Amino acid sequence: MTAEGTTSPEGRHELVAGAGREGLSEGGRDSMDQTLRVDVRGLEPPLPMLRILELLDRLSPGQRLVVTHERRPVLLYPQLEERGFAHETKQVGPGEVQIIIWRKEG
């Protein structure tokens, strides 16, 4: 599998590999907050969950992972809880949900 770098219109650098897309985007110029984003739409199970769990290891305290998915990943939620992560899922359109994941404090 090859990966190629692209720059989005917003100026965010993204790493494109296979059907899923991931990229690291930083907050405002003065912000220390960083958000890791991954799009797992189009990946066959169990690849979406494996990709998400792999990216969780990269999260620093205060950092968030924003996942774009085709559906609510109900099998992922217990895994997140078990690993000490909190999450919020929003339906953003037909066949598109956004899951925000962050480390629980304490």
pLDDT of 6 > 50? The answer is no
Q: How high is the pLDDT of residue 86?
A: 97
pLDDT of residue 1: 34
**Percent of the chain whose predicted confidence (pLDDT) is above 70:** 69
Would you say the pTM of this structure is higher than 0.75? no
Model pLDDT, residue 61: 86
- Who wins on pLDDT, 41 or 23? 41
**Where along the chain do its domains lie?**
34-90
Q: What is the per-residue burial (b if ≥16 Cβ within 10 Å, else e) of 37-68?
A: bbbbbebeeeebbebbeebbeebeeebbbebb
